[in-house]
Structure 1
Amino acid sequence: MNNTEVHNERIAKMTFASVYPLYLAKVEKKGRTKEELHQVITWLTGFDNEKLKDLIEKKVTFETFFQVASLNPNAYLITGVICGYRVEEIENSLMQQVRYLDKLVDELAKGRKMEKILRNS
């Protein structure tokens, strides 16, 4: 297994519950709200607040999190670089989905308008 495969496996096995507080802290530190974070997660995954809370409580892995998600059909419009990777060029679909979420959280924290984050025209 090469380093990329090891890295992908490690992220796939991480729990969403372990990363969610980091997402929340990042956006709140920049003056955004938990509700806005949930709006972004809901747009990408289709999860409502109750389902999101349930997945956090069950400590599901990112792999499971995205297996049960209904990815937004406009997710492909998320482009750019996050964590050193150009999201539209990531070949592993789970890694691409994780990086989509990272990118949306980053845009929210940077103060981008919600209409732009949610890829609305």
Structure 2
Amino acid sequence: MCCAARAIRDRSCGRSSRSPTASGTTANTADGGDGTYRRFTVGPAAPGSNEHTLDRVRHRDYLLDQRTAAPAARNWLATARPTLSIGTVYPELSKFDIPLLPSHDVLIHLHRVTAAGLLPE
């Protein structure tokens, strides 16, 4: 485990499921301009990505208040790395180099998530 993952682990709290950007995530998204929802599963997180390192933390689910993170974790969190963003046009416009520290106050990592469904009309 790298020192950043260890520092995050030491500051994280959580029980023992995957972030909306982590591998194995199943989601629904509108595809193209037709508004049709499509279901897809995201593959494994790429080595060197934010998701890859966050998946290596000891806890499966955790919350990290980045404002109070240890210095080693803050240094890692301040560096831009490839990050998968699942939005309404996935997979287009879905990969960005993002530093997590200035982007978010709190990081919530869920090891496993599933697609949301539409509410009945």
TM over 0.5: no
Provide TM-score, normalisation by structure 2.
Answer: 0.31
Provide TM-score, normalisation by structure 1.
Answer: 0.31
| Larger CA Rg, structure 1 vs 2 | 2
Structure with the higher fraction of residues in helix conformation? 1
Bigger relative CO (Cα 8 Å, ≥ 6 apart): 2
Structure with the higher fraction of residues in strand conformation? 2
